[in-house]
């Protein structure tokens, strides 16, 4: 049977992708951030998951205000990098895992999650930057990817509790899949940042560190963070952190932290990365 | 924006809630259209003519033409959409941040390098009123 | 405050719309069906709801396999009749109620239903046929409409229980809306029918009558009907009846039946209509 | 179709489950395209050329060209999609029902007027095997 063995929480700042694409990872500005990603890349190479479920949000790339799914799961064979206005990132096409993705979609709907099933979904920096962070610049991505896209742009996004429960249902579904697959889940977005308004540039490192700490020490607190607290304390775009709760829900209660990295700033954002493994 | 929301007292923050989304629908859909190179080309050729197909308010249209970044938000824009216009102009997110706050780009960049805008004093509108 | 006072269950067979559009409602074939709709039209005229929430499914009109939302709520100002292959039905444009629809979307998401929010959604016979049944052929529809579109084409559709719980959450949201509106909810689709395969033409009147009976006598039984029972007993397209559970969930436990009509056949379908009112 | 589903023993029924949907994706997307008058016109002009843009299997393509209604379902078609092709041909749902079963149209219509296909004897595949 498939096994969900680990989760990664990581920011997905487009500037991080641009630094990779434009060979700037060794500049004074970016080096401290990328140095901290090295152990994560080694971990990824050593663990070599067959499939990674990447929980992310679309940023007006695949979806517009015409249609706003709360949770969309990508079941296609492949997903093209989206043109976000600069032309698509020159990264490999993202290969899906339709069998597992459809199995997840079916299991989740029967478990009363109201998924949107996506056969066509270009993927933007929300998904490709975490791949760049974890895998560097390979010719093809070293794992299959199941995109799980969460609305965090149109208020209201799903609650932290709903996300956490979705994670639990994903875990159950993965482990009922009759193939010997090693599966990881990434929760992406955050950490504290605000891109918009006169308060743009907000960073709340105390909030972020406490968030990283409580992913292993006090998940219950995180699950109950209301939208208004994310907005106020972590910034309007820091509210993306709710997506990390899906990743956390998919892991054991006593998952342990094996690595973390926190750096300010990446563009306008506090960048964090954490690796959690099931015991 | 509605003033009776639990997040209405967060300063300098335009939550993209239902009212905001309704107000900015066509403005944001214009921005989204810049994802396509063919559309970017047309917009480059004649901004005003390109905008004619999007039923925006005159204020929204002016804010686009004048690159009034904070005005765009106040008129229903969402930053992920309005940023498409910044991408079009070749402006990055920190420069937009500076222009929304109304400070020089270098000042905003320095603030970020020094750890970003602190949360202290920036949680509640009343904190801004006092200091303003 | 707004009040949800009644629910209607009705089939939405395209042939019923075509009979209206082509002035065939008085032919031998159609007259018995349309005679039974008369009391429902009178009820609709007398009660004159301000807003009707129409729960229906799209039939490869607004949505394709590219993107399959489980629950999509239409928040637009208006919804155009869809071209289903014959050109659009010549019926009035459907006017929405964006304020209430957005209020519902927000309330439902915060109540942990994973809604897709739709600003663009042409509406097909699934929605316009129930309007024709209830309102005849007016120049403009006499009520605002909030479309609530449910996936029942791609297996699996949401469970009966999930639909029923969604109905309860809709009731709560409507009654928290601060405007003096009279709101009804239509659950549409069914009753027993199968359009596809060598078993096409299946009708199970006993199942349908028991279903109508139990909407007031034994809702618990209906809530627990599994997909396989709908498929086997009511036919592959009779499984649309799950949408009636959303309507039922939005009503009081002791809602009473004020009218029913059942007729076989309407095209390949057993056509039913029931009106339930809160006490 | 997978044979191990709890609904696999329902006779003459093609449940549009994940496997079926994957198999029929391009076939169904072709059918859906007939919602647009411009596409219907092109398909009318040259069916074969029109089909070239949809990466279907040769069997699916043949089933479309031959209007093999039951074949379309067996190859991953969903009735709401394949019915777009019937609409194109001006055939109604009862006529499709007859052709899928392989009986004359009038026989199918008469069955419907007499109350439809009964549930008795039509719940389980084994009931069909006995009677066949
Ligand atoms: Fe993001
Ligand atoms: Fe239907």
List chain D residues with CB under 8 Å of A102.
18-19, 21-22
Chain C within 8 Å of B46 (Cβ-Cβ)? Answer: no
Is a pLDDT exceeding 80 seen at residue B101? yes
Given C59, C125, C261, C263, which residue is catalytic? C125
Owner of token pair 């989206």: A82
What is the residue whose two structure tokens read 């929301």? B5
Residue C206 CA to residue C170 CA, distance in Å, equals: 30
| pLDDT higher than threshold 80 for residue A117 | yes
* Residue C261 appears among annotated catalytic residues: no
B residues 3..42 contacting C (CB < 8 A): 17-19, 21-22, 25
The Cα of D19 is separated from the nearest Cα of chain A by a number of Å equal to 8
Percent of chain B at pLDDT > 70 equals 96
Please determine, for residue D1, whether its predicted confidence score (pLDDT) is greater than 50. Answer: no
In tens, the pLDDT along B40-52 reads 999 999 999 999 9
Mean pLDDT of B85-97: 96
- To the nearest whole angstrom, how far is the Cα of A87 from the nearest Cα of chain D? 25
A86 touches chain B (CB under 8 A): yes
Ligand 2 center–CA C150 separation, angstroms: 10
Name the residue in chain A with its Cα closest to that of B5: A228
> The whole model's pTM is what?
0.97
Mean pLDDT for the stretch of residues D65-73: 98
Say whether pLDDT at A137 is over 90: yes
Q: Within chain C, which residues score under 70 in pLDDT?
A: none
Whether the CB of B55 is below 8 Å from some CB of chain C: the reply is no
- Ligand index nearest the alpha carbon of residue C271: 2
- Work out the average pLDDT over A210-217: 98
What residue ranges do the domains of chain C occupy?
3-254
User: What pLDDT sits at residue B130?
Assistant: 78
Q: What pLDDT does C68 receive? A: 98
Distance from CA of A109 to the nearest CA of D (A): 12
Q: Per residue in A54-111, pLDDT tens? A: 999 999 999 999 999 999 999 999 999 999 998 999 999 999 999 999 999 999 999 9
User: What is residue B128's three-state secondary structure?
Assistant: helix
Nearest-Å Rg of the Cα atoms of chain A is 17
Least CB–CB distance from D35: residue in C61, C268, C270? C61
Task: State the distance from the centre of ligand 2 to the C-alpha of C58, rounded, in angstroms.
Answer: 7
State how far the Cα of C83 lies from the Cα of C68, in Å rounded to an integer: 19
CB distance from C66 to chain D under 8 Å? yes
pLDDT reading at B118 higher than 60: yes
Q: Which residues of A are catalytic?
A: 125, 193
Long-range contacts from B60-68, C-beta under 8 angstroms, 24+ separation: B60/B24, B60/B26, B60/B27, B63/B27, B64/B27, B64/B30, B67/B99
CB atoms within 10 A of CB C57: 24
Per-residue model confidence (pLDDT) at position B2: 57
CATH number assigned to the domain covering A3-254: 3.40.830.10
* D85-94 contact pairs (CB < 8 A, 24+): D85/D31, D85/D34, D87/C84, D87/C85, D87/C86, D87/D34, D88/C85, D88/D34, D88/D40, D88/D43, D92/C15, D92/C267, D93/C14, D93/C15, D93/C195, D93/C267, D93/C268, D94/C201, D94/C267, D94/C268
Task: Give me the CATH code for the B13-126 domain, please.
Answer: 1.10.700.10
Q: Are A199 and B12 in contact (CB < 8 Å)?
A: yes
C97: annotated active-site residue = no
- Residues on chain C touching A117 (C-beta within 8 angstroms): 67-68, 154
Tens-place pLDDT, residues C69-84: 999 999 999 999 999 9
């Amino acid at each position: 049977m498939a096994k969900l063995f680990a989760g990664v929480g990581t920011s997905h700042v487009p500037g991080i992708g641009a630094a990779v694409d434009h060979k700037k990872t060794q500049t004074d500005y970016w080096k401290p951030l990328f140095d901290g990603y090295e152990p994560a890349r080694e971990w990824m190479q050593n663990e070599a998951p067959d499939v990674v479920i990447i929980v992310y949000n679309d940023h007006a790339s695949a979806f517009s205000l015409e249609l706003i799914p709360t949770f969309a799961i990508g079941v296609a064979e492949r997903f093209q990098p989206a043109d976000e206005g600069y032309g698509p990132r020159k990264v490999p096409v993202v290969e899906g895992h339709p069998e597992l993705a459809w199995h997840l979609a079916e299991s989740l709907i029967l478990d009363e999650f109201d998924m949107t099933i996506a056969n066509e979904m270009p993927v933007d920096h929300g998904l490709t930057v975490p791949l760049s962070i974890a895998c560097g610049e390979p010719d093809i991505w070293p794992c299959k990817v199941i995109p799980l896209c969460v609305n965090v742009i149109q208020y209201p996004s799903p609650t932290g509790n709903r996300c956490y429960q979705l994670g639990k249902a994903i875990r159950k579904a993965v482990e009922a899949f009759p193939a010997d697959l090693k599966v990881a889940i990434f929760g992406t977005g955050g950490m504290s940042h605000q891109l918009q308004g006169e308060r743009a540039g907000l960073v709340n490192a105390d909030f972020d560190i406490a968030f990283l700490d409580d992913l292993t020490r006090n998940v219950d607190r995180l699950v109950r963070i209301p939208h208004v607290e994310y907005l106020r304390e972590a910034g309007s775009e820091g509210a993306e952190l709710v997506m990390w709760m899906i990743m956390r829900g998919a892991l054991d209660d006593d998952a342990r932290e094996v690595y973390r990295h926190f750096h300010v700033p990446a563009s306008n954002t506090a960048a964090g990365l954490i690796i959690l493994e099931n015991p | 924006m509605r003033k009776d929301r639990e997040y209405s007292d967060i300063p300098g923050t335009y939550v993209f809630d239902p009212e905001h989304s309704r107000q900015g629908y066509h403005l944001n859909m214009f921005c989204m259209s810049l994802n396509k190179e063919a559309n970017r080309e047309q917009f480059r050729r004649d901004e005003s003519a390109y905008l004619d197909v999007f039923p925006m308010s005159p204020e929204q249209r002016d804010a686009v033409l004048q690159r009034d970044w904070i005005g765009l938000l106040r008129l229903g824009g969402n930053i992920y959409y309005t940023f498409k216009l910044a991408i079009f102009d070749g402006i990055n997110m920190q420069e937009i941040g500076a222009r929304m706050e109304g400070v020089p780009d270098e000042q905003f960049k320095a603030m970020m390098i020094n750890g970003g805008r602190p949360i202290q004093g920036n949680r509640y509108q009343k904190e801004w009123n006092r200091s303003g």
